[in-house]
Chain A
Amino acid sequence: MIGQSQAPVGIESQDTAAWIYAVVDDPAAVPAGLLGVGHGPVGTVEHGGLAAVVGRLDLDRPPKHRADLVAHSKVLEELRNHGTVVPVQFGSVMEDLDSVRSNLLEDRGDELRALLDQLRGRFQYNLRARYVEEQVLSEIVRDDPEVSELRRLTRDVPDEAAYGEKVRLGELVNHHLEARREVDAGFLLDSVLPHTVAHVVKRTGGTNVLDAALLVEESRAEEFVDLLEDLAEGVHERMRLQVVGPVAAFDFTGGL
């Protein structure tokens, strides 16, 4: 049941365990010679048309460095480039390959197959928007006389002086930012959501307007990025748009 020649060697030995990267439904899509966390080989465990992508973990040296996070991420990116993938939460380790087979692939087979079907042919993009700070702050000063007055009172005083006024000024500015974020995030979402099949909006604050994970049909991905380009151009005086992707569907593993 262990996938061909790529199986991690010695994974069953006493002080090692199985590090889990992802679940795929096409083991042939796992590139040969793929290296993962700790430069260890990456292999597969198969059952019922599913393949768990695993590596050997030395329990004496658990991965906890940034390089491990990056290595894990690279494996996921390779997998995503070759097929549909359900990413497993970083840091998940099972006792051995048998346990991966029975407790993951067998016990949760139906769920995993359904999830793979939902994610097939779809890409995740992470969209973030942030204000051009000087621009939005200028708008706030212009629109609220109280902000403008507090600014006059606090701007040329020593750091420790006018503390109360400074806090009040900042609080007001924060309040205005909140209101603006709601409007602007709403506008951005209204523009992009018709082009997505699912989305997750994350909490933001300050000058960060929007942070959202968007699931997009692969066939419409190009058109989607073009739309973002146009949107970014349209709002560029007030906001900067950034998109990361396609990435593995990390934000959609709970089903759509």
Chain B
Amino acid sequence: MTTQSQRRAGGYLERPAPSGLADVVEVILDKGLVIDAYVRVSLVGIELLTIDARIVIASVDTYLRFAEATNRLDLYEKGGQSLTEAVGDLQEGGAAKKTSGVVKGAKKALTGGDDKPRARKSSSRQRESEDA
């Protein structure tokens, strides 16, 4: 994936160069032609990374995170600013920097670790066999 990150002047479309692990995982993990293999190597840690991210969705923790994020909004604070003005401020001031979602957070946490194999969780997507 050697394509350089590119962006049309003034463009809003993000076009990252997918060279980091997280992006590579997005592109290739669990995809591609499945063949009747002699052994199939399992990337234990990396595999869990996607599974864990799916589990996090729709849990109570997610609800609490949304509640917290909602409560962080500065809608009515600081001297009766109108909703429209406040929303406008939010858009102008660094709205993008807080957009990391639950999934992204989970992935970041996991990809930030080392290559040590992690404890396995049962999953239909799990593959065996380093020692086959």
A51 surroundings in chain B (CB, below 8 A): none
Q: Which residue of B lies closest to A247 (CB)?
A: B27
A166 surroundings in chain B (CB, below 8 A): 63-64, 67-68
A135 with B90: in contact, given A126-B27, A242-B14 (CB under 8 Å)?
A: yes
A241 surroundings in chain B (CB, below 8 A): 12-14
Tell me the count of chain A residues lying within 8 A, CB to CB, of chain B: 80
- Over the window 217-256 of chain A, the binary record of Cβ atoms lying under 8 Å from chain B Cβ atoms (1 yes, 0 no) is 0000000010011011100110011111001001101000
Tell me the count of chain B residues lying within 8 A, CB to CB, of chain A: 68
A-B contact count (CB 8 A): 233
Complex contact A253–B33 (CB within 8 A): yes
Complex contact A77–B103 (CB within 8 A): no
Chain A, 131-146, CB within 8 A of any chain B CB? 131-135, 137-138, 140-142
Q: Which residue of B lies closest to A147 (CB)?
A: B70
B54 surroundings in chain A (CB, below 8 A): 203
Complex contact B36–A237 (CB within 8 A): no
A170 to B117, CA, bound (A): 34
- Over the window 62-95 of chain A, the binary record of Cβ atoms lying under 8 Å from chain B Cβ atoms (1 yes, 0 no) is 1111101110111011000100001111111111
Contact of B69 among A66, A137, A231, A232 (CB under 8 A): A137
Chain A, 32-83, CB within 8 A of any chain B CB? 59, 62-66, 68-70, 72-74, 76-77, 81
A44 to B39, CA, bound (A): 19
Q: Which residue of A lies closest to B21 (CB)?
A: A66
Complex contact A91–B86 (CB within 8 A): no
Contact of B12 among A93, A130, A173, A232 (CB under 8 A): A232
Apart from A66-B115, A208-B101, A232-B11, list 17 A-B contacts with CB within 8 A: A17-B39, A90-B29, A92-B35, A93-B38, A95-B38, A103-B35, A103-B36, A134-B73, A137-B66, A137-B70, A167-B60, A225-B13, A228-B13, A242-B13, A244-B26, A247-B18, A247-B27
Pick 14 A–B contacts, CB within 8 A, sort by A: A17-B38, A64-B43, A64-B44, A65-B115, A68-B43, A104-B35, A134-B90, A154-B71, A170-B66, A207-B101, A208-B101, A229-B11, A253-B32, A253-B33
